[in-house]
A and B are shown apart, each in its own frame.
Chain A
Amino acid sequence: DQQVKQNSPSLSVQEGRISILNCDYTNSMFDYFLWYKKYPAEGPTFLISISSIKDKNEDGRFTVFLNKTATHLSLHIVPSQPGDSAVYFCAASGNTGNQFYFGTGTSLTVIP
Chain B
Amino acid sequence: SQQGEEDPQALSIQEGENATMNCSYKTSINNLQWYRQNSGRGLVHLILIRSNEREKHSGRLRVTLDTSKKSSSLLITASRAADTASYFCGGDDKIIFGKGTRLHILP
- A associates with B: no
Q: List B residues at the A interface (Cβ < 8 Å).
A: none
